[in-house]
C-alpha cells in the first residue's frame, strides 16, 4: 500500500511573525514613555545647545549664528571665572561635610532605640522646609544688630562679625546654611543603608577578631554602604552646584561678588540682561561639569562598592 506523505510546514515563518508581533506590541507600550522622554529631556537639551551658539535675546525676533563666540566670551569674563571659583569652593566644603556629616548623624541615630523617630524628624525638618522661606529666617538670625548669632559670637570672643556682609565669610556662611539643609536628607539615605546591612556579617566579623565598634564599622558597615555612599555623593554634588535660593535671598551675589555662583550669574544673564544665548552657553557648561563630575565620582567610587 502506498503511503501519501504530507509535507510539514516549517515553524520558522510562524516564529518570525510572532516575534514581529511581540516587537510591535513592545514598541507600542514603550512609545508613550519614549515620546515623553524626548519632549521633556532631549528636545529642551537640543534647543539649549542650539541657542548657545546664537546671539538670541529674550523677546528678539532676529537670531544670528555666532558659533563659539559665547563660550569664548564666557571664559574671558572675570565675573564668570569668579562664579566658577566660588561655586567650586562652595562644593568643596558642602560635598565632604554633607556626605560624612550625614553618615555620622545616621550612625548616631541608628544606635538609638526609643528616641530614634524623634531625632529622625528633627534632623529631617530642614529638608521639608522651603529654603526661600528659611533663608529669610536665617537673614534675621544673622543680622548684625537684630539677630542673636552676632552677639553670641561676640560673647565667645570672635568679635562682632557681619557674616553676610563680610567678603571673607559670606560664602562660608551660605555653605553652612546649605549644609544645614542637606544633612537630614543624606542622613535618611544612610539610615536606609544601615538598616539593610545583614546582622550576621557583624557576627562573622566578631569571630574574625573585629571586636571594637570602629573595627566593625571599617570592616563591615563602610564597605556595605558603598552603593548608598555613591548615590549620596552624586546627589550632594548636584545639589551643591545648584546653589541659588540662598544667594538670591541673602546676598544677591555680594558683598563685592564674593557669593556670585554659576547658577546665579546664569540667572542674571538670562532673566535680567535678557542675553538668552549667552545664558544658554553657561547652562551647557554647567551641565558638562555636572555630567563629568558625576561620571568621575561613579567610576572612582564604584571600584570600592560591594553589592549585597
Residue 81: its H or E element: helix 78-110
| Residue range 44-58, pLDDT digits in tens | 999 999 999 999 998
Q: Which of 80, 264, 247 is nearest to 164 (CA)?
A: 247
Domains and CATH numbers, the chain: 71-302 (1.10.3720.10)
C-alpha to C-alpha distance for 251 and 139, rounded to whole angstroms: 9
Give pLDDT tens digits along the chain (308 positions).
455 555 555 567 777 888 888 888 888 999 999 999 889 989 999 999 999 999 999 878 888 999 899 999 999 999 999 999 999 999 999 999 999 999 999 999 988 888 888 888 888 888 888 878 888 899 999 988 888 998 998 888 888 888 999 999 999 999 999 999 999 999 999 999 998 888 888 777 777 777 777 788 878 888 888 889 989 998 999 999 999 989 999 999 989 899 999 999 999 999 999 999 999 999 999 999 888 888 887 787 766 665 55
CB 257 within 8 A of CB 247: no
278-303 b/e (C-beta count within 10 Å ≥ 16 → b) = bbbbbbbbbeebeeebeeebeeebee
Q: How is the chain split among helix, strand and coil, in percent rounded to 5?
A: 70, 0, 30
C-alpha to C-alpha distance for 81 and 265, rounded to whole angstroms: 11
DSSP 256: T
**What are the cell numbers at 287?**
551641565
C-alpha to C-alpha distance for 75 and 54, rounded to whole angstroms: 17
CA within 13 Å, CB half, 19: 6
CB 220 within 8 A of CB 205: yes
* pTM reported for the whole predicted model: 0.85
Residue 305's pLDDT is what? 60
Task: Identify the three-state secondary structure at position 303.
Answer: coil
Q: What is the largest CA-CA distance in the chain?
A: 118
| Residue range 120-162, pLDDT digits in tens | 888 888 888 887 888 889 999 998 888 899 899 888 888 888 8
List, in order, residues 6 or more apart from 307 with CB less than 8 Å away: 226, 227
Partners of 177 in the β-ladder: none
Share of the chain above pLDDT 70, in %: 94
Q: Which of 134, 93, 91 is nearest to 249 (CA)?
A: 134
Residue 70's pLDDT is what? 94
Residue 206's pLDDT is what? 75
**What are the cell numbers at 136?**
529669610
| Backbone φ and ψ of 65, nearest 5° | -75, 125
* Residue the block writes with cell 546654611: 177
Q: Which of 173, 179, 175, 177 is nearest to 99 (CA)?
A: 179
Residue 247's pLDDT is what? 93
Residue 204's pLDDT is what? 79
Residue 117's pLDDT is what? 87
Residue 304's pLDDT is what? 61
Amino acid at each position: 500500500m502506498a503511503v501519501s506523505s504530507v509535507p510539514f510546514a516549517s515553524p520558522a515563518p510562524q516564529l518570525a511573525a510572532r516575534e514581529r508581533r511581540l516587537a510591535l506590541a513592545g514598541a507600542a507600550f514603550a512609545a508613550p514613555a519614549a515620546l515623553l522622554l524626548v519632549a521633556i529631556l532631549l528636545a529642551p537639551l537640543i534647543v539649549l545647545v542650539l541657542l548657545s551658539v546664537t546671539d538670541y535675546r529674550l523677546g528678539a525676533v532676529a537670531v544670528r549664528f555666532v558659533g563659539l563666540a559665547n563660550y569664548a566670551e564666557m571664559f574671558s569674563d572675570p565675573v564668570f571665572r569668579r562664579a566658577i571659583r566660588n561655586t567650586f569652593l562652595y562644593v568643596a566644603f558642602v560635598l565632604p561635610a554633607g556626605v560624612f556629616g550625614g553618615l555620622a548623624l545616621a550612625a548616631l541615630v541608628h544606635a538609638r532605640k526609643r528616641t530614634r523617630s524623634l531625632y529622625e524628624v528633627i534632623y529631617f525638618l530642614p529638608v521639608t522646609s522651603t529654603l526661600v522661606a528659611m533663608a529669610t529666617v536665617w537673614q534675621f538670625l544673622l543680622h548684625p544688630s537684630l539677630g542673636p548669632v552676632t552677639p553670641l559670637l561676640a560673647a565667645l570672643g570672635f568679635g562682632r562679625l557681619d557674616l553676610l556682609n563680610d567678603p571673607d565669610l559670606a560664602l562660608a556662611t551660605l555653605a553652612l546654611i546649605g549644609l544645614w539643609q542637606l544633612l537630614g536628607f543624606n542622613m535618611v539615605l544612610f539610615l536606609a543603608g544601615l538598616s539593610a546591612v545583614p546582622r550576621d556579617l557583624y557576627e562573622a566579623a566578631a569571630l574574625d577578631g573585629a571586636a571594637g565598634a570602629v573595627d566593625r564599622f571599617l570592616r563591615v558597615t563602610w564597605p556595605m554602604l558603598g552603593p548608598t555612599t555613591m548615590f549620596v555623593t552624586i546627589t550632594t554634588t548636584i545639589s551643591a552646584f545648584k546653589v541659588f535660593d540662598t544667594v538670591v535671598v541673602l546676598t544677591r551675589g555680594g558683598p563685592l561678588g564674593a557669593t556670585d555662583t554659576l547658577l546665579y550669574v546664569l540667572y542674571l544673564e538670562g532673566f535680567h540682561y535678557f542675553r538668552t544665548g549667552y545664558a544658554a552657553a553657561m547652562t551647557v557648561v554647567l551641565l558638562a561639569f555636572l555630567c563629568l563630575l558625576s561620571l568621575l565620582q561613579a567610576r572612582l567610587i564604584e571600584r570600592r562598592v560591594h553589592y549585597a
